Amino acid sequence: MIIQWKWLFEKVLTRFAGIMLFGFLFVKDLEDKELINHEKIHVRQFLEISLVAGLVFGTVAWFISLWFLLGIPVAFYIWYGIEFLIRLIKYRDREKSYKKISFEHEAYDKEDDFTYLQNRRFWRFWKYI
Residues that bind Zn ion (CB under 5 A): 104, 107
- The burial class, CB within 10 Å (0-12 / 13-18 / 19+), for 87 is buried
CB-side exposure of 52: number of CA atoms within 13 Å? 10
Task: State which residue, 27 or 107, has the beta carbon closest to Zn ion.
Answer: 107
Please say which residue, 29 or 67, places its beta carbon nearer to Zn ion. 29
At closest approach, how far in Å is the CB of 30 from Zn ion?
17
Q: Which is nearer to Zn ion, 27 or 72 (CB)?
A: 27
Intra-chain end-to-end CA distance of the chain, in Å: 28
User: CA-CA distance, 5 to 88, in Å (whole number)?
Assistant: 30
Least distance in angstroms from the C-beta of 68 to Zn ion: 28
Residue 123: CB minimum distance to Zn ion, A: 17
